[in-house]
């Protein structure tokens, strides 16, 4: 789940990942370049890159990678690291994640109307007019509920997530600190 476990060392810089990536156009570095930067210890460049945030988790790179590197997992780990350090290249993608996750904390489920509305109000106000026909269609056709559903166990869920945070902090391992040079067991 963290890059040190993702076989990142095995990367041969072939570019299959970048070539396969559907959201490549928006990335400031290709995934391959990110791996090279991590290996070069270029921490700032990696942390300031928007690449992980543009990953759509389609797993094309993962099944094509000739070295079977867990690329989406690396991207997740980089995002989590950036979130933790509050260091994000642009706020659009992280905000979307945060809005999404906030709904989960509050209700235990996601809530599409609120999510899309909130997100678009904040970041794409100008696009909203073009979408109202679709949006109204969604609502009146019963495709978007107006009220989110709250699960009964929401308190328990939050307790679980809080505990997970504590464990994660206790186990925190660095991205850029020395990684094992070989499979040594001593």
Partner 1 sequence: MTAPVTTTQTPTPGPVGEPFEPLILGFTCNWCSYRAADLAGTARTKYPHNVRLIRLMCSGRMEPEFILEGFAKGADAVIMTGCWPEDCHYRIQSVKALRRFLFLRRTLSDLGIEPARLQRFYASAAEGQRFADEIARIVAEVRALGPIQPEIRVALDGHPVAPAPAAEPVEVEA
Partner 2 sequence: MASQYMYYPGCSMDGTGKAYHDSIQAVLPELNIGLAELDDWNCCGATEYMGISPLRSQALVGRNLALAEKQKNGTDTLVAPCSACYVNLARTDAYVRESAELAASVNDALGADGMSYTPGSVKVRHLLEIMIDDIGLEEVGNHVTRPLTGLKLAPYMGCLVSRPDYDDRWQHREHPHALDQLLLALGADVVEYSRRTDCCGGHMTQISPETGLELIRRLIVEAERVGAHALVTVCPMCQMNVDFYQREMNHHFRENHHMPILFFTQLMGLAYGMPAKKLGFGREIISARPALSHIGIEAPLTEEEEAQRAAEAKPVRRRRGDPALPTPAPREDEEELR
Partner 3 sequence: MTAPKIGVYICHCGSNIASMVDVEGVRDWAASELADKGVVVSRDYPFMCSSLGQELIENDIKEYGLERIVVGACSPHMHEKTFREASANAGLNPYLAELVSIREQVSWVHTDKVKATEKAKAIIAGGVYRVHEQVPLEPLIAPVNSATLIVGGGIAGITAALEIADAGYPVHIVEREPSIGGHMAQYDKTFPTLDCAACILTPKMVDAGAHPNITLHTWSEVVDVSGSVGDFKIRVKHKPRMVVEADCTGCGICIEKCPVQVIDTGFEAGIGYRKAIYTPFPQAVPKYPVLTPDDCTYFAKGTCKACEKFCPVDCIDFTQTDEFVELTVGNILLATGFQPFDARRIESFGYGRLPNVFTSMEFERMSNAAGPTGGKIVLRDGVTEPKSVTIIHCVGSRDKNTNEYCSAICCMQSLKFAHLVREHTGADVYECYIDMRTPGKGYDEFYNRILDEGTQFIRGRVAEVTDSLRYPEEEGHEGRLIVQVEDTLAGVKRRIPADMVILSTGLEPQPDATEVARMFGVGCSTNGFIIERHAKLAPVATMTDGVFAAGATLGPRDIPTSVSNGAAAAATILSRIAQGQIAMEPYRATVDAARCSGCRICNDLCPFSAITFDEAAMVTEINPKLCQGCGVCVAACPANAISGSGFSHDQIIAQIDGLLSYPGGGDGRPVEEAVGATA
Q: Smallest distance from the beta carbon of 54 to partner 2, in angstroms?
A: 7
- Within 25-44, which residues bind partner 3 (CB under 8 A)? 25, 29-30, 32-33
Q: Smallest distance from the beta carbon of 70 to partner 1, in angstroms?
A: 6
Report the residue from 48, 104, 117, 179 that binds partner 2 according to the rule CB under 8 A.
104
Residue span binding partner 2 (CB under 8 A) among the ranges 8-16, 41-49, 122-130, 175-183? 122-130
DSSP state for residue 144 in the 8-state scheme: S
CA atoms within 13 A on the CB side of 45: 14
- Within 56-85, which residues bind partner 3 (CB under 8 A)? 60, 63-64, 66-68
Among residues 43 and 98, whose Cβ is nearest to partner 2?
A: 98
Position of tokens 């076989």?
7
d(CA 150, CA 117): 19
- Within 31-70, which residues bind partner 1 (CB under 8 A)? 62-63, 68, 70
d(CA 76, CA 58): 13
Instruction: List alpha helices for the chain, DSSP H.
Output: 16-20, 31-39, 43-47, 51-54, 60-64, 71-85, 92-107, 112-123, 128-140, 154-171
Per-residue contact flags (x/-) with partner 2 for residues 42 to 81, judged by CB under 8 A: ----------xxx-xxxxx-xx--------xx-xxx-xx-
- Largest interatomic CA distance in the chain: 65
Residues that bind partner 3 (CB under 8 A): 12-21, 24-25, 29-30, 32-33, 60, 63-64, 66-68, 184, 186
């Amino acid at each position: 789940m963290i890059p040190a476990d993702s076989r990142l060392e095995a990367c041969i810089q072939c570019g299959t990942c970048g070539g396969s990536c559907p959201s490549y156009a928006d990335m400031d570095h290709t995934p391959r370049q990110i791996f090279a930067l991590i290996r070069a210890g270029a921490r700032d460049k990696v942390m300031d890159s928007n690449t992980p945030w543009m990953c759509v988790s389609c797993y094309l790179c993962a099944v094509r990678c000739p070295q079977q590197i867990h690329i989406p997992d690396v991207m997740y780990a980089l995002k989590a690291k950036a979130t933790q350090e509050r260091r994000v290249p642009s706020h659009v993608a992280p905000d979307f994640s945060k809005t999404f996750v906030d709904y989960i904390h509050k209700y235990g489920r996601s809530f599409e109307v609120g999510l899309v509305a909130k997100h678009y109000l904040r970041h794409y106000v100008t696009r909203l007019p073009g979408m109202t026909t679709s949006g109204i269609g969604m609502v009146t056709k019963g495709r978007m509920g107006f009220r989110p559903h709250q699960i009964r166990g929401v308190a328990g869920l939050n307790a679980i997530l809080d505990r997970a945070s504590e464990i994660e902090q206790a186990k925190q391992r660095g991205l850029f600190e020395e990684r094992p040079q070989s499979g040594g067991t001593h």
